[in-house]
């Protein structure tokens, strides 16, 4: 239950500290006094987005806090959520404390003094308090909302969540398929890719081949000069009379003569001569090999030029460099491989989609069966409560239509209603007045009270467009519902206010030059005075108020 609510600098309320009791708590006050401010305060604590305009004029910010004691059914529902969010929670003293601090520049949210995001606050708030304002009554006209009500009664929330997740997985898979298949080459692109592969593979370039061939061509183009200089060098080294090798031989012979006079000192000199001789021979061989590679006949030279021309054509088309040509070949081969694997890729996506659809269909059948299984019992119980609310001879039923797999399965469901005997059943959205919708919502909440884990229900103007005997019946129904849930009810009708176990009045008055709203708990005498005001005032109203109490 909502134990207490503290409000500071919210709209017309400078400061309020309210303690609520169990059962039915009614809140009354003159029109415009600020009853809706309390409802706004609770809504903000439950994660509604805050506008800086809610801050009282002249204040830098506002603060709202509340304490909620949880019944065991709510503890069971909420504990996993709190554990997952690492929010401390004592199960032996199951009170949650919510706090929201709103300034003109930022908003801070707290659960049990732990800072949380607005999304987390709303996630927790939805499990603590259920608010029904006039606009939420109107949501009952939506077939989707009606289906959700039936799902809650049938306790199908887990199956609904599973179905929603499966649909999300199916969408992700289809998006993945579209993305993958969108990247496949077209027939025209396949033709082009194959041409690229054939052309480059036909030339079969090697890495850096163009550079090595260019150097070879440079030598071959100047082969005459190269050969002349090569032969000159060979002759000077070892290819003619009086060559360097011959001269070195003469030097070697002379040093051998010196060796007889001082073998120890001369021996190293002979070794140097031997080394020089080896170097000259190696140099001669290298020049001979170089010149042999340069010598090309006309055919070989033509083939070299043709090869260089083929590489240059590839570079002009796919370059600028030979590495770019090789990269183009790799990419074309990769794209062609994808195209060749298209059939298998599509089969894999088809298989995965079919597997998901089978599970989704099974989940949808489970939902449909669960809904139809409880529909008759649900309608019977709602009609019992409607009878208590002044619809003694009304009729209510559910129509089911099987549709394509949608957001909630294969069911399109709608409440059909007739307030008076002899009138045909029609969709609720076509015939129900706002007063009728309010009472139907109350009847639904009464039926759902046994399966809902939410410990606090707040009704804002559930008595709209009703009065007299019907208002008294609504008050009785609210009091009966309050035996299983704490109720906070904002009302304009004395018949309903009189049923409250705790009564609070919102009072607006001038304080200096400022309008201030306050909320006070009423004593028995104050309740009689408030009920008399609601009845129109005067001595007769006062006596009637005493009778109502």
**Which pairing describes strands 24-29 and 13-19: parallel, antiparallel, or unpaired?**
unpaired
Residue where a domain stops, chosen among 340, 360, 395: 340
Q: Give the span between the Cα atoms of 259 and 273, in whole angstroms.
A: 13
- Residue 102 DSSP SS3: strand
Q: Are residues 199 and 312 in the same domain?
A: yes
Same domain, 115 and 207: no
Look at the chain and report how many structural domains it folds into. Answer: 2
Residue 278 is assigned to a structural domain of this protein: yes
CA atoms of 370 and 374, how far apart (whole Å): 7
**Residue 38: which pLDDT band, with cuts at 50, 70 and 90?**
confident
Phi then psi for residue 422, to 5 deg, are 90, -15
- On whether both 197 and 325 belong to a single domain, the answer is yes
Residue 159 inside a domain? The answer is no
Alpha helical stretches, state H, 235-297: 244-259, 263-294
| Residue 155 within any structural domain of the chain | no
* Spatial separation of the C-alpha atoms in residues 544 and 549, rounded to whole Å: 9
pLDDT of residue 504: 93
* Residue range(s) defining the domain that contains residue 6: 2-141+432-548
Q: Among 340, 355, 372, give the residue marking a domain's end.
A: 340
- Give the per-residue pLDDT at 256: 83
Same domain assignment for residues 126 and 193: no
Asked if residue 126 lies in contact with residue 81, where contact means CB atoms within 8 angstroms, the answer is no
- Specify the length of the chain in residues: 549
Q: Residue 4 in contact with residue 18, Cβ under 8 Å?
A: yes
Which band of pLDDT confidence, cut at 50, 70 and 90, is reported for residue 446? confident
Position 19 confidence tier, pLDDT thresholds 50, 70, 90: very high
d(CA 148, CA 143): 9
193 and 272 in a single domain? The answer is: yes
Check whether residue 112 and residue 38 sit in a common domain. Answer: yes
Check the CA dihedral 439-440-446-452 and report its sign.
negative
**H/E segment holding residue 8:** strand 2-10
Which of 7, 68, 58, 71 is closest to 37 using CA atoms? Answer: 7
* Boundary-marking domain end, from 313, 340, 367: 340
490-515 burial: b if 16+ Cβ within 10 Å, else e: bbbbbbbbbbbebbbbbebeeeeeee
129 lies in the same domain as 234: no
The pLDDT of residue 223 is 59
Residue 226 pLDDT grade (very low, low, confident, very high; cuts 50, 70, 90): low
Domain assignment of residue 61, yes or no:
yes
Q: What is the pLDDT of residue 509?
A: 85
Tell me the C-alpha distance between 280 and 317, whole Å. Answer: 48
Over the stretch 419-443, which tens digit does the pLDDT of each residue have? 888 888 988 878 656 667 777 878 8
Q: From start to end of 58-154, where are the E strands?
A: 61-69, 95-103, 107-111, 114-116, 129-132
Quote the strand ranges of 192-265, DSSP E.
none
Kind of pairing, strands 502-511 and 486-490? unpaired
Indicate whether 226 and 121 sit together in one domain: no
Residue 474 belongs to a domain: yes
Q: What is the mean pLDDT of residues 377-390?
A: 89
Are 73 and 12 part of one and the same domain?
Answer: yes
**Distance, CA of 457 to CA of 460 (rounded, Å):** 10
Helix, strand or coil for residue 388? helix
Q: Which residue has the tokens 């061939």?
A: 213
- The encoded tokens of residue 536 equal 């129109």
CATH code where residue 96 lies = 3.40.50.300
Phi and psi of 30, rounded to 5°?
A: -65, 155
Instruction: Establish if 527 belongs to a structural domain.
Output: yes
The arithmetic mean of pLDDT across residues 460-475, rounded, is 77
Q: Report, in angstroms and rounded to the nearest whole number, the Rg of the chain calculated over CA atoms.
A: 47
In a domain, 330, yes or no: yes
| Contact indicator for 224, 230 with CB cutoff of 8 Å | no
312 and 236 inside one domain: yes
Predicted confidence band of residue 469 (pLDDT cuts 50, 70, 90): confident
Verify that 223 and 94 share a domain, yes or no. Answer: no
Q: Is the Cβ–Cβ distance between 78 and 70 less than 8 Å? A: yes
Do 444 and 299 share a structural domain? no
Q: What are phi and psi of 133, to 5 degrees?
A: -105, 175
Residue 239 reports pLDDT greater than 90:
no
Check residue 376 and give its pLDDT: 94
* Residue bearing tokens 């059914």: 73
Cα separation, 64 vs 79, in Å, equals 24
CB atoms under 10 Å from CB of 275, counted, come to 10
Q: Which are the contacts of 400, defined by CB distance < 8 A and separation ≥ 6?
A: 368, 371, 372, 375, 411, 412, 413
More confident residue, 216 or 426: 426
Is residue 389 within 8 A of residue 396, CB to CB? The reply is no
The verdict on residue 411 lying in a domain is no
Judge whether residue 520 has pLDDT over 80.
yes
409 has which bridge partners?
406
């Amino acid at each position: 239950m909502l134990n207490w609510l503290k409000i500071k600098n919210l709209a017309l309320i400078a400061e309020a500290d309210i303690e609520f009791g169990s059962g039915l708590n009614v809140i009354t006050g003159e029109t415009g006094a600020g009853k809706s401010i309390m409802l706004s305060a609770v809504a903000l604590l439950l994660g509604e987005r805050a506008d800086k305009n809610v801050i009282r004029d002249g204040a830098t910010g506002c603060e709202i806090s509340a304490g909620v004691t949880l019944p065991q059914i709510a503890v069971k529902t909420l504990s996993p959520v709190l554990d997952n969010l690492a929010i401390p929670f004592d199960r032996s003293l199951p009170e949650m404390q919510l706090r929201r601090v709103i300034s003109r520049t930022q908003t801070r949210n707290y659960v049990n003094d732990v800072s949380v995001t607005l999304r987390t606050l709303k996630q927790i708030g939805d499990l603590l308090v259920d608010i029904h304002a006039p606009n939420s009554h109107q949501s009952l006209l939506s077939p989707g909302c009606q289906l959700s009500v039936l799902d809650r009664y049938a306790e199908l929330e887990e199956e609904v969540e599973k179905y929603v997740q499966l649909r999300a997985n199916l969408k992700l898979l289809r998006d993945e398929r579209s993305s993958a298949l969108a990247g496949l080459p077209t027939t025209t692109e396949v033709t082009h890719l194959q041409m690229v592969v054939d052309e480059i593979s036909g030339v079969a370039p090697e890495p850096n081949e163009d550079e090595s061939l260019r150097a070879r061509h440079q030598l071959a183009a100047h082969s005459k000069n190269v050969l002349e200089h090569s032969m000159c060098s060979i002759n000077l080294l070892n290819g003619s009379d009086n060559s360097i090798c011959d001269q070195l031989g003469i030097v070697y012979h002379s040093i051998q003569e010196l060796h007889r006079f001082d073998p120890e000192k001369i021996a190293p000199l002979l070794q140097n001569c031997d080394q020089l001789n080896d170097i000259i021979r190696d140099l001669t061989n290298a020049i001979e090999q170089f010149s042999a590679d340069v010598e090309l006949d006309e055919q070989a030279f033509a083939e070299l030029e043709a090869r260089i021309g083929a590489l240059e054509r590839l570079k002009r088309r796919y370059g600028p460099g030979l590495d770019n040509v090789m990269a183009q070949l790799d990419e074309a081969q990769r794209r062609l491989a994808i195209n060749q694997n298209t059939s298998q890729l599509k089969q894999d996506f088809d298989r995965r989609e079919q597997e998901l659809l089978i599970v989704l269909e099974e989940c949808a059948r489970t939902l449909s069966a669960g809904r139809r299984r409880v529909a008759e019992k649900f309608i019977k119980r709602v009609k019992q409560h409607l009878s208590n609310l002044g619809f003694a001879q009304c009729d209510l039923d559910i129509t089911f239509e099987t549709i394509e797999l949608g957001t909630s399965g294969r069911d399109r469901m709608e409440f059909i209603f007739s307030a008076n005997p002899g009138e045909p059943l029609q969709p609720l959205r076509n015939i129900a007045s706002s007063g009728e919708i309010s009472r139907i919502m109350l009847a639904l909440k009464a039926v759902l009270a046994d399966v809902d884990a939410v410990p606090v229900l707040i009704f804002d103007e559930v008595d709209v467009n009703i009065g007299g005997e019907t208002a008294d019946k609504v008050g009785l129904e609210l009091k009966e519902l309050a035996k299983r849930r704490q109720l906070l009810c904002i009302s304009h009708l004395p018949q309903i206010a009189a049923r409250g176990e705790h009564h609070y009045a919102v009072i607006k008055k001038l304080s200096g030059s400022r309008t201030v709203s306050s909320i006070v708990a009423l004593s028995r005498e104050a309740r009689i005075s408030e009920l008399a005001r609601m009845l129109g005032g005067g001595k007769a109203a006062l006596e009637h108020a005493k009778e109502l109490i």
